[in-house]
């Protein structure tokens, strides 16, 4: 933690348009690629440094193109159906197979189907041969001296064959550009190190190194560098000596960002400090000892985007090949998107194939930073001049996943349960193309997603406290007029999740109030919260009696994770979540966790597979093993 | 060469539809993938063998989301603009930076912008804080126990970051399937070995190994196996013991195909022998000791296609992920395509972006087998029931190159000259996206390609013998009414290409006749052939006087390659071709090699670049260094 002097934050100097910043970087720095000679066999994916010419011809001899006999064409001109001609072996012909060399004295091949054996030494033909018929001449495929591949060609598997055929056993390719990756930050620790509060695992470096590898470069991932100007300077100088390009990943504290800027200015030149994008603004572009250097923020999403905007072009440019473009998909927006005027917005999106069209929505806030990069199906770029995009508008999304995965994805949006992960695993085993794409937003939001056509299926456990009935009342209320199907799915035990040993000896709601336990609540609209509220009402209590009522988490697991941290805490949740975290559990109520699907989805192949799975023995066994469950999927579904 | 007993060829038993053959293979053989545990850092591109759950939460502590101070929210409720509140350091608050842990006694963060320093120990606030504001709770990003990635997920760079963040340092992935590759054939030799006529370089094995590598498998490329049933049997048995799948690549002689079939039948079972595709028919699919085995023909195109049809699905299926699809492009056919009824035709195509649309044509016959795989832009599949496709018809092509390369390709179709390769190299240096796509079909065919809209630019050297003028008369005749531009380009020396030392002492056309030299001609429509014919006429000779007049080659280089083989041969060609082959040269005539472009192309960016290059000093120097050239590109173009 830094001193209190940090009142005056460094103001970012610029808001430079991203493309302009990139073009400046490419223009100011002349990249001089190095060349190396490598064996052809290992050259897949490498880029030719020079045009490659064949060293020999293929075939390198006149070859028979068919099985048959080699003859002198002139000897055969008399042959005619009415006047068959006899030829003598080793005098007028020899036998050849496809690919055999044609002896010098012969200049045509007659196919085996066109000759008749008279005896062991004689054959008969009834038609003449023309000179050079059925002969593959020298160089018919590749001619010595012919250009096999141009310079700047990214080698594919078939190219390796042509090179070897042309006698090229090794060839000059562009060396992989070396990219130094410098993680900086006092709070960073190597993955696998013992952790204390405040420590953050350094994983950006691994992701960067992996990107560099993907793009054809050679990553040089350094050890973590502390937030010290002298150390940072030394690291950058060393990187400039050893590598072709440098990435320096700022720690997340304000101080390190400043050091990086100052050190680069000292050692070289800063071209850009701050670009007009959200996220991703605090990027530094510059040069040290003639090598390009890019300073990226610690926030993973910003860092990954910055690498793609500025490092990727450099790596491809070094190799002299074009940056591959991502596949895009035209989709309709499921809800409106707010935008920042004056900056490009990069919005991570989920895409689903619902009711015959592709609908895209920004990732729900249920996804934290790192997982959002894993979950995003693609990214939407909103231009600087845009004031926002409307629901229903058609937009183009750059895909992060293959379109087949999106097309067949089963969108599950609602209250998360560990059993859904099991369904996903079993579905994928049956069909590699199918996957459940889960959004953990809670039961009520799940119902709304079904209504808005943003999901295929939701899992809900919503208690109507008056009717003391689960789910049905909510479906009738919120999905009136919609074509949906509700399927009974699970009975789950809800109860008090408490630290191991139940130190406060919580048994009832009154215990929670009396012992001033720190309650960990769920978000509004979550079935568990609705259950808790109904319990409060039943016991004539109000939320004011509950310390921590305003403390909201988004899933059973995160409630359990919270409780694991604090000895005096308690929450309401499912047994499997307590069990997973090694916490104790006091049963409170059984609830119904049911599925609601659109009728359209219910009738689709994906749903048929889903239903098959949840009725299967394998599934029932796996779920009941988690504890606190009873599977009721064989009950009759309700159609609306 | 085999004995003469091979009159009765083995008849292929089947003509099984390709998809049916593939589905049978996948159904009959249950692939049992093995699992291995690898470090997360090295896992890019691997496939998860099980669902992966987080081992720890991220953050794993309550973290400040902003720079500021940590407080007890309850302490701040009285703060108001009219009633500022003072807080004392280390009693009521501590300073925190973004990412710092919140000490246990505090439960909210106030941003630094919202506080005023009174003195070193005291600060002032004028608004209350709500509990948990600006705090990232434990597990906000990744929760311990949460499923980070499902089973059967192909790991991307961003996934590695999420795994490390969740404390997953190593994970179970599907082992790469081992694919044994067995090249067989008596005529095969390893690349780099000394070569005698009849030897064929074994390069298919390297291409197969490269494909396997691309698809995620581990290739085991064996040494060459001779065409001997016992050796083949041993090799297959060994492969079945060591590998998960087997590819056996038949030699090109008929005999080896039979051995493979018999050996597989002996050791296991043949499911399919012969599929309904052209090319690619003689494929064997079967099983040996429970491992799938695929026998592919020696003909490279057929072999590469067979691997894609049958091995690729197996390798992806083993890993439990979907086969990626190739990008496709809708194009218009430049000429009609003949098709085989009853079989799928796989036609290699070139695609050009001409006059605002994509036009595709089968590769010209000027491309031999191996180079055709390098040159093909894509492949067109003609269904079995089709009787052929008409010129102008819209079809879908599976691309072998990225669409950007095709879009910017400059289609050069005509008489090849080494200078065009130099232009291509220099153009690519200036713009990595630009490339010249050459088709060597000769001058007249080049003019026709311009007329038919199949090319952007052609190079021609056509002599009108009556007018004794080059090129212009042909353009006026064949391109009347077309919007074209003719640019003077080169003066080239044509002459007799003879073996080193000029053994027959050829000086004149009469020498060729008298000494009965073996002439190597060019194809009809080639400028060089037209020149030769005009020389014959001038000297009152006819083609009947010329031995080998019917011997036709498609380029200067292939004429030279031919001459290199035979001591008594001679051909007409350019100096640079003779020089490249180390042959001697007797000058005969200077000719004009000029360029003709469509007007549309002339006005495009690609052409501007082309013209810039051919007028550049670098180009002129490089070409004149080849010998026998004079660059005249600075002369004025002719517009038609």
The DSSP result for A255-268, as a single string, is: HHHHHHHHHHHHHE
Q: Give the chain A residue nearest B119 (alpha carbons).
A: A4
Average pLDDT over residues A82-111: 93
Q: Is residue A432's pLDDT more than 80?
A: no
The burial class, CB within 10 Å (0-12 / 13-18 / 19+), for A635 is exposed
Contact, B446 vs B584, CB < 8 A? no
- Chain B: give the shortest CA distance to residue A203, in Å: 5
Instruction: Output the CA torsion sign for B371, B374, B380, B381.
Output: positive
Residues of A numbered 368-407 whose beta carbons fall under 8 angstroms of chain B's beta carbons: which are they? 368-371, 373-374, 400, 402, 404-405
Whether B144 and A581 lie within 8 Å, measured CB to CB: yes
| Residues 6+ positions from A326 with CB-CB distance below 8 Å | A398, A399, A400
Instruction: Output the CA torsion sign for B343, B344, B346, B349.
Output: positive
Average pLDDT over residues B482-494: 93
| Residues 6+ positions from B46 with CB-CB distance below 8 Å | B38, B154, B155, B173, B174, B216
Contact, B626 vs B419, CB < 8 A? yes
Q: Is residue B7's pLDDT more than 50?
A: no
Q: Tokens standing for A608?
A: 């048929």
Q: Give the chain B residue nearest A65 (alpha carbons).
A: B252
| Residues 6+ positions from B596 with CB-CB distance below 8 Å | B446, B447, B450, B457, B458, B460, B471, B475, B479, B484, B485, B486, B487
pLDDT confidence of residue B508 = 94
Q: Is residue A535's pLDDT more than 70?
A: yes
Q: Is residue B3's pLDDT more than 80?
A: no
pLDDT confidence of residue A7 = 34
Using CA atoms, how far apart are residues A571 and A559, in angstroms rounded to an integer?
A: 7
Using CA atoms, how far apart are residues B524 and B21, in angstroms rounded to an integer?
A: 44
Query: Which residues, listed in sequence order, are joined to residue B330 by a DSSP beta bridge?
Result: B396
Whether B425 and A207 lie within 8 Å, measured CB to CB: no
pLDDT confidence of residue B365 = 59
Using CA atoms, how far apart are residues A179 and A368, in angstroms rounded to an integer?
A: 29
User: B59-103 pLDDT, tens per residue?
Assistant: 889 999 888 999 999 999 999 999 999 999 999 999 998 889 999
Give the phi and the psi of residue B346 in degrees, each rounded to 5. Answer: -110, 105
Q: Tokens standing for B217?
A: 């498998």
* HSE value, Cβ hemisphere, 13 Å, CA-based, for B425: 20
Q: Is residue A144's pLDDT more than 90?
A: no
Contact, A388 vs A318, CB < 8 A? no
Rounded to the nearest angstrom, the gap between the alpha carbon of residue A383 and the centroid of all alpha carbons in its chain is: 24
pLDDT confidence of residue B12 = 54
**Nearest C-alpha neighbor of B168 from the set B181, B195, B149:** B149
Average pLDDT over residues A23-39: 94
pLDDT confidence of residue A10 = 52
Q: Residue ranges of the alpha helices (H) in B435-582?
A: 443-451, 472-478, 509-514, 527-538, 556-565, 575-581
End-to-end CA, chain A: 58
In chain B, what residues touch A253 (CB-CB under 8 Å)?
A: 97-99
In chain A, what residues touch B151 (CB-CB under 8 Å)?
A: 425, 428-429
Residues of A numbered 207-266 whose beta carbons fall under 8 angstroms of chain B's beta carbons: which are they? 207, 209-211, 213-214, 252-254
pLDDT confidence of residue A261 = 87
Kindly state whether A549 is in contact with chain B, defined as any CB-CB distance less than 8 angstroms.
Answer: no
Kindly state whether A197 is in contact with chain B, defined as any CB-CB distance less than 8 angstroms.
Answer: yes
Cβ contacts below 8 Å, chain A against chain B, sum to 335
Using CA atoms, how far apart are residues B611 and B634, in angstroms rounded to an integer?
A: 9
Whether A187 and B96 lie within 8 Å, measured CB to CB: no
Kindly state whether A432 is in contact with chain B, defined as any CB-CB distance less than 8 angstroms.
Answer: yes
**CA torsion, ordered B522, B527, B532, B533, to nearest 10 deg:** 100
In chain B, what residues touch A1 (CB-CB under 8 Å)?
A: 95-97, 100
pLDDT confidence of residue A13 = 65
Smallest Cβ distance to B421: which of A147, A373, A429? A147
Q: Is residue B13's pLDDT more than 70?
A: no
Kindly state whether B148 is in contact with chain A, defined as any CB-CB distance less than 8 angstroms.
Answer: yes
Taking residue B122's Cβ as centre, other Cβ atoms within 10 Å add up to 14
Whether B322 and A197 lie within 8 Å, measured CB to CB: no
Whether B137 and A368 lie within 8 Å, measured CB to CB: no
Instruction: Output the CA torsion sign for A334, A335, A336, A338.
Output: negative
Smallest Cβ distance to A100: which of B1, B96, B131? B1
Q: Tokens standing for A508?
A: 């009832």
In chain A, what residues touch B40 (CB-CB under 8 Å)?
A: 191, 206
Using CA atoms, how far apart are residues A206 and A262, in angstroms rounded to an integer?
A: 26
Range in A217-231, A302-316, B548-562 the model is least confident about:
B548-562
Whether A1 and B192 lie within 8 Å, measured CB to CB: no
Q: Give kind and range of the element (H or E) at residue A124.
A: strand A122-125
Interaxial angle between packed helices B204-215 and A157-165, expressed in degrees from 0 to 180 and rounded to the nearest 10: 160
Smallest Cβ distance to A555: which of B4, B9, B143? B143
Kindly state whether A32 is in contact with chain B, defined as any CB-CB distance less than 8 angstroms.
Answer: no
Model confidence band, residue A638 (pLDDT cutoffs 50, 70, 90): confident
Smallest Cβ distance to B370: which of A165, A187, A429? A165
Contact, B169 vs B235, CB < 8 A? no
Rounded to the nearest angstrom, the gap between the alpha carbon of residue A565 and the centroid of all alpha carbons in its chain is: 32
User: A184-200 pLDDT, tens per residue?
Assistant: 988 899 999 999 998 98
pLDDT confidence of residue A254 = 44
Percent pLDDT > 70 in chain A is: 96
Q: Give the chain B residue nearest A147 (alpha carbons).
A: B421
Smallest Cβ distance to A195: which of B60, B137, B553? B60
Query: Which residues, listed in sequence order, are joined to residue B459 by a DSSP beta bridge?
Result: B595
The burial class, CB within 10 Å (0-12 / 13-18 / 19+), for A347 is buried
Rounded to the nearest angstrom, the gap between the alpha carbon of residue A533 and the centroid of all alpha carbons in its chain is: 40
Q: Tokens standing for A450?
A: 């079904």
Whether A157 and B210 lie within 8 Å, measured CB to CB: yes
Kindly state whether B198 is in contact with chain A, defined as any CB-CB distance less than 8 angstroms.
Answer: yes
Q: Is A534 helix (H, G, I), strand (E, B) or coil?
A: helix
Q: Is residue B526's pLDDT more than 50?
A: yes
pLDDT confidence of residue B8 = 38
Whether A141 and B197 lie within 8 Å, measured CB to CB: no
User: B533-587 pLDDT, tens per residue?
Assistant: 999 999 999 999 999 898 888 888 889 988 988 889 999 999 989 998 899 999 9
Which of B42, B93, B152, B323 to substitute to test the interface with A, most A CBs within 10 Å?
B152
The answer to whether the bond into A59 is cis (omega within 30° of 0) is yes
In chain A, what residues touch B404 (CB-CB under 8 Å)?
A: 322, 325
* HSE value, Cβ hemisphere, 13 Å, CA-based, for A160: 24
Smallest Cβ distance to B161: which of A2, A61, A370? A370
pTM for the predicted model, two decimal places: 0.87
Smallest Cβ distance to B165: which of A138, A321, A370? A370
User: B456-472 pLDDT, tens per residue?
Assistant: 999 999 999 888 899 99
Beginning with the edge strand found earlier in the chain, give each strand of the sheet holding B116-119 in spatial order. B85-88, B122-125, B116-119
Kindly state whether B141 is in contact with chain A, defined as any CB-CB distance less than 8 angstroms.
Answer: yes
- Chain A: give the shortest CA distance to residue B519, in Å: 13
């Amino acid at each position: 933690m830094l001193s209190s002097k940090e009142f005056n934050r460094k103001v970012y100097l610029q808001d430079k348009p991203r493309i302009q910043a990139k073009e400046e970087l490419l223009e100011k720095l002349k990249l001089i690629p190095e060349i190396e000679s490598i064996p052809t066999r290992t050259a897949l994916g490498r880029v030719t440094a020079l045009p490659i010419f064949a060293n020999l011809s293929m075939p390198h001899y006149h070859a028979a193109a068919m099985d048959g006999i080699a003859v002198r064409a002139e000897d055969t001109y008399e042959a005619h159906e009415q006047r068959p001609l006899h030829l003598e072996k080793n005098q007028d012909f020899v036998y050849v197979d496809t690919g055999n060399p044609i002896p010098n004295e012969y200049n045509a091949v007659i196919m085996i189907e066109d000759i008749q054996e008279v005896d062991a030494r004689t054959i008969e033909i009834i038609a003449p041969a023309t000179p050079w018929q059925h002969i593959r001449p020298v160089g018919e495929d590749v001619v010595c001296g012919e250009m096999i591949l141009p310079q700047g060609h990214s080698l594919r598997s078939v190219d390796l064959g042509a090179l070897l055929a042309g006698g090229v056993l090794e060839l000059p390719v562009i060396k992989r550009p070396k990219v130094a990756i410098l993680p900086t930050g006092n709070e960073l620790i190597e993955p696998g190190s013992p952790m204390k509060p405040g420590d953050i695992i350094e994983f950006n470096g691994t992701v960067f190194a992996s990107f560099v590898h993907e793009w054809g470069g050679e990553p040089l991932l350094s050890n973590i560098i502390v937030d010290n100007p002298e150390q940072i300077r030394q690291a950058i100088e060393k990187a400039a000596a050893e590598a072709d390009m440098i990435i320096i990943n700022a720690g997340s504290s304000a101080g390190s960002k400043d050091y990086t800027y100052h050190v680069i200015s000292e050692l070289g030149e800063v071209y850009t400090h701050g670009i007009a994008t959200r996220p991703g603004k605090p990027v530094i572009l510059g040069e040290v000892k003639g090598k390009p250097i890019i300073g990226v923020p610690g926030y993973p999403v910003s860092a990954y985007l910055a690498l793609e905007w500025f490092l990727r072009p450099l790596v491809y440019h070094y190799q002299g090949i074009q940056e591959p473009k991502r596949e895009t998909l035209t989709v309709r927006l499921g809800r409106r998107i707010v935008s920042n005027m004056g900056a490009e917005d990069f919005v991570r999106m989920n895409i689903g194939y619902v009711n015959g069209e592709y609908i895209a929505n920004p990732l729900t806030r249920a996804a934290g930073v790192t997982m959002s990069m894993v979950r995003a199906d693609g990214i939407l770029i909103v231009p600087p001049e845009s004031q926002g995009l409307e629901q229903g508008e058609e937009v183009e999304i750059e895909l992060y996943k293959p379109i087949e995965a999106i097309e067949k994805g089963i969108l599950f949006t609602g209250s998360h349960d560990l059993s859904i992960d099991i369904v996903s695993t079993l579905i994928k085993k049956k069909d590699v193309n199918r996957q459940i794409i889960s959004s953990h937003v809670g039961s009520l939001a799940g119902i709304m997603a079904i209504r808005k056509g943003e999901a295929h299926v939701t899992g809900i456990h919503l208690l109507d406290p008056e009717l003391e009935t689960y789910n049905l009342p909510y479906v009738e209320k919120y999905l009136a007029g919609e074509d949906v199907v509700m399927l009974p799915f699970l009975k789950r035990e809800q109860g008090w999740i408490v630290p191991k040993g139940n130190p406060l000896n919580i048994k009832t709601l009154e215990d929670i109030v009396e012992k001033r336990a720190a309650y960990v609540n769920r978000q509004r609209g979550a079935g568990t919260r609705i259950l808790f509220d109904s319990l409060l009402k039943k016991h004539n209590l109000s939320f004011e009696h509950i310390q921590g009522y305003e403390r909201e988490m988004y899933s059973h697991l995160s409630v359990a994770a919270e409780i694991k941290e604090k000895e005096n805490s308690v929450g309401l949740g499912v047994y499997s979540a307590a069990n997973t975290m090694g916490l104790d559990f006091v049963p409170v109520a059984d609830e119904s966790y049911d599925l609601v699907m659109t009728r359209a989805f219910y009738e689709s192949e994906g749903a048929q597979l889903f239903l098959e799975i949840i009725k299967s023995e394998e599934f029932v066994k796996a779920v009941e093993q988690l504890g606190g469950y009873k599977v009721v999927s064989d009950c009759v579904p309700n159609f609306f």
